[in-house]
Structure 1
Amino acid sequence: MVAKWMTAVLTVLAASPMLTTAAPAPLDPENHLSKRAWPTVVNNCVNSGQVALTFDDGPYLYDTDIGKALGGSKATFFLNGNNYDCIYNHVNEIRALSAAGHTFGSHGWSHKDMSKLSWDQCHDELWKVEQAFIRILGVKPIYFRPPYGSISNTLLSALENRGYKKVFLWSEDTGDSLGDSVSSQKGVYNGVANSYPAPHIVLNHSPIASTAYDTVPYAVSLLKNKGYQLVAVDTCMGSQGEWPYQ
């Protein structure tokens, strides 16, 4: 009886998401790229009158200031594990932003172009970020943004294998990561405001000081005055959204 009981316990533990290895064997070893239930690739919000401001590449120095600039509106932060800084150096900031109602997703561990990685390498990039989320927030993300917006079938299959539901791209890019001027970034938001009430997902990057102190305050004021709600991606997807964590 004892042996049978121990076998049952070990079977359950082996299946636990908390103990998922960095590169689990595919469910179908002969064809792990089959489209069983690949995550949905999202290019824009669904709900009219809503804009999702999204911030990649953090955490770094300015995430808290971006949260303050949002003035009670909600946003989405797609976090790396070790890009501008290590995620474990920003535990308090992440927890505070989460408590304020912002949504978090994975952006991979080290901002590699994951469309060029192997099956095992994709799992490694995803697994390390998941472990950080579990340790910091007690949850595992099911939303993902690919670095550089690059997607491959291998990456989509790895994401499906690990339980991800959506891959978020964007409808507008402010160009902050490319060095575009603040005036150019504000011009992007002017275009968004002028399209009211069409929905939008706007790409920003939180480690850039001018984004935090110039572009975001301008965008928040402009879009709110126009009548837009600023929401996280799980909200702007309407009935197609879901709780963004496991």
Structure 2
Amino acid sequence: MKMIKNNNEKRIYMKKGNILILIILLILSGILGYNINSKIKSNTNVKKESVKNMNNGDLVQQEKTLPKKEEREVYDILGKSNKLTTNQWKAMEQWRSDVVKLSKENKEEVYTNGYNKEKMVALTFDDGPDSNITPKIVETLTQYNVNGNFFFIGEKVWKYPSVVEKAYKEGNLVLSHSYNHVELNKLSEGKIKNEMEKGEEEIFNIIGKKPSLIRPPYGAIDKNVIEAAKSEGNKIILWSIDTLDWSQMEKENIQKNIIDNLRPGEIILMHSNEDKIATLEALPDIIMAIKEKGYEIVTLDKLLNVEAYK
């Protein structure tokens, strides 16, 4: 009986011992589990914080690298001719004042000049193409390793397709000067759009692209022309320097109007039609003088940071 009692006591002690060990193990596992979870949470928080910091860093970096929209000062339009009468000058001064005002009010739609910080300018040529002057101007630009911007009249484009194609293939912009070279501000909305569309279509038939930059003939614009251009996906390009090569057809005066007035972002108006021999003769000296002043001659899409074609 004593042995049985002793054996029973041993079993009880063993059970108690096992229970005690189990309790100790449970306590230890709880402590370890807490520490592990704490570490996991801590690491997770660190990772989250790291991601958060990285994201914040990325955002800060992104904000730093996003280009800021540069302000564009609208210049007064410059250029003189001693061949204009007093009344002609008064009319021109009034026109210049009016279009500068319109450009200031519609900066994303009407451009008289480009941005003012970088020393870049654009040479533009109206009223072509023809069989003589336009091809020679293209050749001169190529010879001096620069590109120009040709605003061609639609009804002339189909007559001289090889000239248009050559101008385009040499890296120049081929743009619209309307179809019939009429004052758009004297037309109805429908006729304004028709002039724009027909001019673009003639260019498209040759180069396979429709221009999105248009120069209304004579710079004749008003709010109706601006709205029509906008609805057609076009931007209006005027000028900040008028060489007046159509008035005072003298090489020296054409050069003087450019070189004496040069500012960053200039859009320079010249012509490339049949009687502009003086413009052609002046062009090499104009290009060299512009470069000597530290300016780069560029196309309008680069000068204005816009798309040239649709």
TM-score between the two structures when normalised by the length of structure 1: 0.76
State, as a whole percentage, how many aligned pairs show the same letter: 28
Pick one of 147, 150, 158 that aligns with 1:88.
158
How far apart, in 2, do the equivalents of 1:58 and 1:78 lie? 7
Deviation at 1:199, TM superposition (A): 2.6
Matches within 5 A, 1:46-125: 46=115, 48-60=118-130, 61-70=132-141, 71-82=144-155, 86-125=156-195
Partner Cα separation in structure 2 for residue 212 and residue 191 of structure 1: 17
Inter-partner Cα distance in structure 2 for 1:209 and 1:147: 17
1:180 deviates by 4.0
User: Would you say the 8 A contact 2:125–2:269 is kept in 1?
Assistant: yes
Q: Counterparts of 1:192-203 in structure 2 under 5 Å? A: 192-193=261-262, 195=263, 198-203=264-269
Runs of 4+ with >4 A deviation: none
* Pair 160,206 (structure 1): closer, same or farther in 2 beyond 3 Å: same
How far apart in 1 are the matches of 2:287 and 2:189?
A: 40
Partners of 2:183 and 2:212 lie apart in 1 by: 19
Shift of 1:118: 0.7
Gaps of 5+ in 2: 1-105
In the alignment, residue 139 of structure 1 is paired with which amino acid? K
The separation in 2 between residues aligned to 1:74 and 1:80, in whole angstroms, is 19
- Tell me if the contact between 1:107 and 1:147 (Cα under 8 Å) persists in the aligned partners: yes
Q: CA contact under 8 A between 1:104 and 1:141: conserved in structure 2? A: yes
The answer to whether the 8 A contact 1:45-1:200 is kept is yes
CA contact 1:78–1:105 (8 Å) conserved in 2:
yes
Q: 1:244 matched to which residue of 2?
A: 308
Partner of 1:190: 259
Q: Residue 210 of structure 1: CA displacement?
A: 2.2
1:159 — aligned with what?
229
Distance verdict in 2 for CA 1:137–1:154, change over 3 Å:
same
Say which SS state the counterpart of residue 289 (structure 2) adopts.
helix
Distance (whole Å) between structure 2 residues aligned to residue 244 and residue 89 of structure 1: 23
Any unmatched runs of 5+ in structure 1? 1-36
The residue type paired with residue 245 of structure 1 is Y
1:221 aligns with 2:288: yes
Aligned-residue offset at 1:143: 0.3
How many angstroms does 1:77 deviate by?
A: 0.6
Counterpart residue identity of residue 219, structure 1: I
Q: CA deviation at 1:192?
A: 3.6
Deviation of 1:66 (Å): 0.8
Contact residue 38 and residue 156 of structure 1 kept, 8 A: no
RMSD, aligned CA = 1.9
Answer 1 or 2: higher relative contact order, Cα 8 Å, separation at least 6.
1
How many angstroms does 1:79 deviate by? Answer: 0.9
Please give the TM-score of this superposition, normalised by the length of structure 2: 0.61
Q: 1:222 to 1:186 in 2, by over 3 A?
A: same
* Offset at residue 39 of structure 1 (A): 5.7
State the partner residue of 1:232: 299
Larger Cα-atom Rg: 2
Aligned equivalent of 2:112: 43
